Copies of this chain bind each other. A is one copy, B any other.
Amino acid sequence: MQFQVTPELIEKIQHLASEQLDQELHRYLKDLHHADIAEIIAAIPPVDAAYIIRLLDSEKTAEILMELYEDDREQILLQLSPQEIAGELDMMDTDDAADFLAELPDEIKGEVIDNIEDDEHAKDLQELLRYDEDSAGGLMAKELIRVREDWPVSECIDEIRRQAENVIRVHSIYVVDKDDKLIGRLSVKDLLTVKSQTKIAEIYIPRVDYVNVHTDGDEVARVMQKYDLEALPVVDEIGKLVGRITIDDIVDFIKEEAEKDYQLAAGISQDVDTNDSFIKQTRARLPWLLLALVGSFVAVLVIGEFDTALERYSRLFFFTPLIAAMAGNVGVQSSAIIVQSIANNTLSDSLSTRLFKELLLSFSSGLLLSLLLLFATHFILNYPISLAITIALSLIIVMIIASLVGTFVPITLHRMGIDPALATGPFITTSNDIFGIFIFFSIARVILEF
């Protein structure tokens, strides 16, 4: 444990690969975990990486390839022939192999499938490719252990031995009826602790959680987390057992979902990493910045509309960034809380209750902060009281409206089937800037009469 891949090791391996020193490479790599080899391979040129993939046996390289980020994997695959790629797929679990296949360009997909030796494996892959990748069908693997309710435990154990060869981890043993419909499960523990003459029908647990092939990935993640499941069987439209989803795939899914929210809040498109190319990073970041620039330019136009205030109340203009920033901060806070509650399925209030709560919260916080600001502008900056009151009053009104918008927007987006996390991104903060500034100057115009 605590093994770390060092830059020296990466350099050494790359040197050995480019010099094609097979024996030494084997010596270095044989005791490394596939995840560590993946880390090394991602850091060296694709041609050397492909050399190592060809050198090691397929069982190990299949695991290595699955560990890589999609971009790195693509670079390496470009170096391999369809036959070589098919050899890797043969060794993968169906769920991983299907994801892997889905990434390949269409023109070589067919050729790769034709080159897969195990026909049943190839058929399973074609089935999995039909499902949406974020549905239960797209997340599941075909490998699982199934036993028939009318078998005795002894036959069952033989069958499990046979089936277990294809299943890396035995989580649960699923029990089906004669039509292959899922009717229950056997726990491994039960199997270890009953006599071998017992019939499956007597000992199986008839309660089993399952999902349909078309169930959404979010819902699968929610169910597995809520009920602390490590594997979840998947049935087709008529209740036949067709696959199972394991927790390790869902861990990745949960992490990606959480990251997506974070990235939306920060105004970057998904899946961009410090190691990505200049082009990819720019593509992920520039659109949001452009949007923010256009929005901010609208704010400039709004401010320009109030230029009659410049003569007597020029100091109002010193406060536009403050009002805009506070509108943005309050709005993002409100939205983020809603977004998380939606993600965690804890949003139990109705929209009106929620808006009322936000009204109370933002009014009380706004009142306190406005009084502080009133004090600071009047007593520290020596602004006339009318000007100080205008600014303070605008702050509380802008805060209340921003918090209501910040609550309303994500709930509404969610109801419309749009990712509510969008509401914490630059799109909404920029809108908040614009209307915050507009409200500020409108209030000022009414009070100060310019």
Contacts and interface: CB of A to CB of B under 8 A. Distances in A.
Interface of A: 1, 33, 35, 43, 69, 157, 160-161, 164, 167, 169-170, 188-189, 191-193, 209-211, 223, 225-228, 230, 247-248, 250-252, 254-255, 258-259, 261-263, 265-268, 272-275, 278, 281-282, 285-286, 288-290, 292-293, 295-297, 299-300, 303-304, 307, 310, 314-315, 317-322, 324-326, 328-330, 332-333, 335-338, 340-341, 344, 346-349, 354, 357, 360-361, 364-365, 368-369, 372-373, 376, 381, 424, 426, 429-430, 433, 437
A247 B258 contact: no
Given A247-B251, A285-B333, A321-B437, A263 B164 contact: no
A426 B96 CA distance: 40
Contacts of A368: 286
Given A332-B266, A346-B275, A290 B251 contact: no
A382 to B, nearest CB: 11
Given A35-B228, A261-B262, A307-B314, 15 more contacts: A164-B193, A225-B252, A251-B254, A265-B336, A274-B338, A274-B349, A275-B341, A275-B349, A288-B329, A288-B333, A293-B326, A299-B325, A300-B322, A303-B321, A304-B315
Most central of A250, A314, A320, A426 by chain B CB within 10 Å: A320
B268 A333 contact: yes
A245 to B, nearest CB: 13
Name the 7 nearest CB pairs between A and B, nearest first: A266-B336, A258-B258, A296-B322, A317-B317, A274-B341, A303-B318, A321-B324
A290 B369 contact: yes
Contact of A1 (B211, B310, B364, B369): B211
Nearest to A331: B266
B247 A289 contact: no
Contacts of A326: 289, 292-293, 296
Contact of A258 (B170, B262, B433): B262
Given A266-B424, A273-B346, A293-B326, A189 B209 contact: no
Nearest to A343: B259
